[in-house]
């Protein structure tokens, strides 16, 4: 969120520091290392690596001796670590990312992947055990290991399918024609393509028709990952395509994931074993969220809530941006524009109507020594602020003016953050929020280098800005006639501000627009090493603060900056996008990256775009696409026109239509999230996850699967009413009509797709648990009956599904308080079995069988072995849908048979 002041900030930008370029032939000519003292174990090996010739010293002195440790941790995971035994180099602390445990019984003989090496010059190869296919190989590429520069390169097959290495706005399948992916957190207004953005996930999945595998480099230092030599334009002296890591610190700590030869989702589950499974979120969090930077006062906020209800658009959660703060200071309200008593009235109203409330909280705290501002004074007393090298508090410029930043490594940081949350967000005396929104946590800093006078820069930027409108009458009525609806340290001679290798940071120098990288944290770690962890550290602290407020309840925390493993604590929105069609399209690849690869599944983009003015048609299309983001929020900036869904009739209808589908599917997607929390199975999937042998699916990122079985194919061209979609060779069913459609493994053009419609299909082979109808809130939705939609696959006539139900909010309900159901259809009979510990209070109204060629004869349809007929059984000859009304209380197993066996 930025950015009324972007014009002024741009005028003050420092001179850019461009990425370092060295002719690849120079790097490849480096001597590399030789392996010796190799000790082989049943579960791996260790070796010494010694510089094999005259040092290159490209960006510093080559380390002369290294240690190699190879461990087969599980049958699917290989750990390869290269370190400098002569010094204690920085590694990602285990407190931030706990290391996965190894299975003591694993050996190289039982592993699905194999490690092999050449002694001199040292190189290594990871290959698949079943067929010896090479998955990763540094052969022919020199290993370089210097104090502030590490280089490893692997060869790739031609036309490689690489996914991940974010955060970025490239296509989901990465372009391999000399692409540089930079990992260094920054405030990336406009989410420009081809630059580093807010988060850092140094993991990639590579897919081939022979299988899918993954590679994770556990390193939080800044880096450039280069895909070189695509399309025949090779800069590699050895020829061919390569993937090259250029890292400015730390160690080489690789996890190789075997994946699977048949199921691409297996590699996602294996990655979750390393970085952690995603946190579960409350049922209500899948409802519609509304926010804006620019609501002028409490009356504006109340009116938005009222207008959504009047438009009959289900609004689950109202959000408020920094507008509510006094002079943009966190943990305050403006007494004239957002008085506490009136804001508490809004929160009470929302809660009385089964709706929720979320507020923005930034990490930057106004620097006000000698003032009565408690959030600064409390942090000062606990000594939690980041310190400059001279020991003074490190100052920046953010929304409230001159600021300080919490040092999340400080042992008092959690106490400070939890206490501030408990006080300001108190249900009794403060604002009783239901979830938290954290922003600007790269951390973002408006101060231009050298930032030696932040006070003057704040004055130049007019920060904090004065209010431009008079405050409302504090007694203004609201809701009138409303609806009732392991730690290391760096060598002291390292250059922590301007390292010899300059990564391709779009903001310029490493410290530009963020915290100074020469800051030492409380535990003596430098910001240079830990910068990319700042957002995730804040995320963890915020989740803990929220759980402290409501210890037994699942919570929702949405962040901007993430690192590997962040999904175990928080969800994520994709940042400050624009109201443009290309940003609408790019959002699909963005959510696929986080939900499909990075294990951060609660993800979405700002619907209709954050900055600039949306159009009615774009907002209508985006409202429907946003209905299939896991995190669905409309949010825009203070300099843009209003874009709440009720603003235009077509957008209001599009939102109602999308939300009707979404809410009926809500238990289905809640089940998918529970599965993700259990084992890491992705909640969104690209088409190639389902059709791994079909090369036509590999580049597709304008269609995706919502959950396991719902194919979403939005219209993606500007103002178009037609769309060309790819339907794999499989059976699908139109979600609205339930009529069967046979995919042929080719492209089909859909015509006359109006601006309130989005093409959605059910994949054959699924049993979907749906609510019979939508509702205005998720609380009311849970009172609606279920229906099961049986969509058989054409080949076997079978289908299956699952359903998980709990109370939607208890943090860790015992299995005895949950309902976990399996649905299996085979041979004309649907069997619904499982445990029924949670009292749903509703019934299964009907079962809908799709693709039924003719109406069964009288007596053939049976429920729990007893024949039913008459009005209980209906068949539509056009859509081939057979409905069986059963009206069974959803508290036990049952079966429905539609033909004699």
Residue 576 is among the residues annotated as catalytic for this protein: yes
Q: Render the burial of 351-367: b for 16+ CB within 10 Å, e for the rest.
A: eebbbbbbbbbbbbbbb
Q: Is 507 in contact with 513 (CB distance < 8 Å)?
A: yes
Q: In what order do the strands lie in the sheet with 819-826?
A: 866-867, 862-863, 894-897, 829-836, 819-826, 799-805, 766-771, 786-791, 843-849, 881-889, 873-876
Residue 203 CA to its chain's centroid (Å): 14
Rounded to whole angstroms, the Cα distance separating 457 from 455 reads 5
Looking at 206, 576, 667, 787, which residue is catalytic? 576
On whether the CB atoms of residues 102 and 43 are closer than 8 A, the answer is yes
Query: Cβ atoms within 10 A of the Cβ of 733, count?
Result: 26
How many C-beta atoms lie closer than 10 Å to residue 551's C-beta?
A: 8
DSSP 310: H
Asked whether the beta carbons of 440 and 560 are under 8 A apart, the reply is yes
What is the spatial distance between Cα 415 and Cα 42, in angstroms, rounded to a whole number? 45
Cα separation, 103 vs 671, whole angstroms:
29
H or E element that contains 115 = strand 113-118
In the three-class reduction of DSSP (H, G, I as helix; E, B as strand; rest coil), residue 388 is classed as coil
Count the Cβ atoms, other than its own, within 10 Å of residue 429: 11
Longest CA–CA separation in the chain, Å: 89
Contact yes or no for 334/300 (Cβ under 8 A):
no
- The SS3 call for residue 710 is strand
The label of the residue with tokens 């370089």 reads: 144
Burial per residue of 514-547, b for 16 or more beta-carbon CB atoms within 10 angstroms, e otherwise: bbbbbbbbbeebbbbbbbbbbbbbbbbbbbbbbb
Checking DSSP bridges between strand 289-290 and strand 317-320, what pairing results, if any? parallel
- Specify the length of the chain in residues: 901
Helix axes 265-275, 666-679, angle to 10 degrees: 60
- Residue among 702, 873, 574 nearest 173 (CA): 702
Element (DSSP H or E) covering residue 35? strand 33-41
Q: Within 13 Å, how many C-alpha atoms sit on residue 435's CB side?
A: 31
Instruction: Pick the catalytic residue from 439, 785, 787, 883.
Output: 439
The gap between the terminal CA atoms of the chain, to the nearest Å, is 61
Contact 311, 776 (CB under 8 A): no
Q: Rounded to an integer, what distance in angstroms lies between the CA atom of residue 421 and that of residue 435?
A: 11
Q: How many CA atoms lie within 13 A of 20 on its CB side?
A: 19
Q: Are 804 and 671 in contact (CB under 8 A)?
A: yes
Supply angle C-alpha 737, 740, 742, rounded to 5: 140
Query: How many other CB atoms are found less than 10 A from the CB of residue 722?
Result: 11
CA 693-710-897 angle, to 5 degrees, is 100
Q: What 3-state class would DSSP assign to 591? A: helix
B/e letters for 755-773, b = 16+ CB within 10 Å, e = fewer, are: bbbbbbbbbbbbbbbbbee
Bridge partners of 684? 706
Task: Give yes or no: 785 in active site.
Answer: no
Out of 167, 362, 442, 708, the active site residue is 442
Yes or no: say if 613 and 636 are a contact pair by the CB < 8 Å rule: no
User: What positions carry a catalytic annotation?
Assistant: 439, 442, 576
């Amino acid at each position: 969120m930025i950015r009324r002041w972007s014009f002024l900030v741009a005028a003050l930008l420092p001179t850019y520091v461009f990425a370092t370029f060295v002719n690849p032939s120079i790097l490849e000519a480096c001597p590399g290392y030789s392996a010796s003292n190799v000790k082989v174990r049943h579960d791996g090996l260790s070796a010494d690596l010694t510089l094999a010739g005259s040092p290159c010293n490209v960006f510093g002195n080559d380390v002369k001796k290294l240690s190699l440790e190879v461990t087969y941790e599980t049958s699917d995971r290989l750990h390869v670590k290269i370190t400098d035994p002569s010094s204690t180099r920085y590694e990602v602390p285990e407190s931030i990312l706990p290391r996965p445990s190894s299975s003591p019984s694993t050996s190289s003989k039982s592993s699905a992947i194999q490690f092999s090496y050449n002694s001199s010059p040292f190189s290594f190869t990871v290959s698949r055990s079943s067929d010896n296919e090479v998955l990763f190989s540094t052969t022919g590429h020199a290993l370089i290991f210097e104090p502030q520069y590490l280089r490893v390169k692997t060869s790739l097959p031609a036309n490689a399918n690489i996914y991940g290495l974010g955060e970025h706005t490239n296509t989901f399948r990465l372009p391999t024609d000399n692409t540089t992916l930079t990992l260094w957190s920054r405030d990336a207004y406009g989410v420009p393509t081809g630059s580093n953005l807010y988060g850092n996930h140094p993991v990639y999945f590579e897919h081939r028709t022979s299988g899918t595998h993954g590679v994770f480099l556990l390193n939080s230092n800044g880096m450039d990952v280069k895909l070189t030599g695509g399309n025949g334009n090779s800069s590699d002296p050895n020829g061919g395509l390569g993937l090259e890591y250029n890292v400015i610190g730390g160690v080489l700590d690789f996890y190789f994931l075997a994946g699977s030869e048949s199921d691409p989702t297996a590699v996602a589950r294996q990655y979750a074993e390393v970085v952690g499974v995603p946190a579960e979120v409350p049922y209500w969090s899948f409802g519609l969220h509304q926010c804006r930077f620019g609501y002028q006062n409490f009356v504006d906020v109340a009116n938005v809530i009222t207008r959504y209800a009047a438009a009959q658009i289900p609004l689950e959660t109202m959000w408020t941006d920094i507008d509510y703060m006094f002079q943009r200071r966190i943990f305050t309200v403006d007494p004239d524009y957002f008085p506490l008593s009136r804001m508490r009235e809004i929160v009470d109203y929302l809660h009385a109507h089964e709706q929720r409330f979320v507020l923005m909280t930034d990490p930057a705290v106004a620097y006000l020594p000698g003032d009565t501002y408690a959030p600064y004074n409390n942090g000062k007393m606990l000594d939690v602020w980041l310190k400059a090298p001279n020991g003074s508090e490190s100052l920046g410029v953010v929304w409230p003016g001159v600021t300080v930043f919490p040092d999340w490594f400080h042992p008092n940081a959690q106490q400070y953050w939890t206490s501030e949350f408990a006080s300001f967000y108190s249900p009794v005396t403060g604002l009783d929020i239901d979830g938290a929104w954290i922003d600007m946590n790269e951390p973002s800093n408006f101060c231009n280098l050298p930032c030696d006078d932040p006070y003057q820069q704040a004055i130049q930027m007019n920060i904090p800005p004065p209010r431009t409108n008079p405050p409302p009458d504090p007694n203004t009525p609201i809701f009138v006639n409303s609806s009732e609806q392991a730690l290391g340290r760096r060598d002291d001679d390292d250059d922590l501000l301007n390292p010899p290798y300059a990564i391709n940071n779009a903001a310029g120098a490493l410290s530009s627009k963020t915290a100074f990288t020469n800051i030492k944290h409380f535990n003596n770690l430098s910001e240079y090493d830990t910068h990319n962890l700042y957002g995730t550290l804040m995320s963890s602290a915020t989740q803990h603060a929220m759980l402290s407020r409501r210890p037994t309840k699942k919570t929702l925390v949405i962040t901007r900056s993430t690192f590997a493993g962040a999904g175990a604590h928080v969800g994520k929105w994709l940042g400050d996008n624009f109201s443009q069609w290309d940003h609408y399209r790019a959002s699909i690849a963005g959510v696929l990256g986080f939900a499909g690869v990075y294990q951060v599944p609660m993800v979405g983009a700002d619907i209709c775009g954050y900055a600039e003015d949306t159009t009615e048609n774009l907002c209508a299309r985006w409202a429907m696409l946003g209905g299939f983001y896991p995190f669905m929020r409309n949010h825009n900036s203070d300099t843009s026109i209003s874009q709440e869904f009720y603003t235009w009739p077509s957008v209001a209808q599009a939102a109602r239509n999308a939300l009707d589908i979404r809410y009926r599917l809500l238990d289905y997607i809640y089940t998918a999230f529970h599965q993700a929390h259990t084992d890491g199975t992705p909640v969104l999937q690209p088409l190639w996850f389902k059709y791994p042998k079909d090369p036509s699916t590999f580049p597709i990122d304008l269609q995706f699967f919502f959950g396991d079985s719902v194919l979403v194919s939005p219209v993606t061209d500007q103002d178009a009413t037609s769309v060309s979609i790819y339907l794999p060779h499989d059976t699908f069913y139109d979600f609205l009509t339930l009529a069967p459609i046979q995919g042929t493994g080719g492209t089909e053009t859909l015509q006359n797709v109006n601006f309130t419609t989005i093409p959605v299909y059910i994949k054959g082979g699924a049993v979907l648990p749906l609510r019979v109808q939508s509702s205005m809130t998720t609380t009311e939705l849970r009172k609606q009956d279920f229906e099961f939609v049986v969509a058989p696959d054409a080949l076997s006539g079978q289908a299956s599904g699952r359903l998980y139900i709990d109370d939607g909010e208890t943090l860790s309900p015992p299995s005895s308080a949950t309902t976990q159901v399996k649905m299996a259809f085979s041979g004309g009979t649907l069997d619904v079995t499982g445990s029924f510990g949670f009292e749903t209070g509703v019934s299964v109204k009907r079962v809908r069988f799709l693709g039924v060629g003719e109406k069964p004869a009288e007596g053939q349809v049976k429920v729990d072995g007893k024949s039913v007929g008459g009005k209980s059984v209906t068949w539509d000859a056009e859509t081939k849908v057979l409905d069986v009304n059963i009206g069974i209380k959803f508290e036990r197993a049952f079966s429905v048979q539609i033909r004699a066996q």
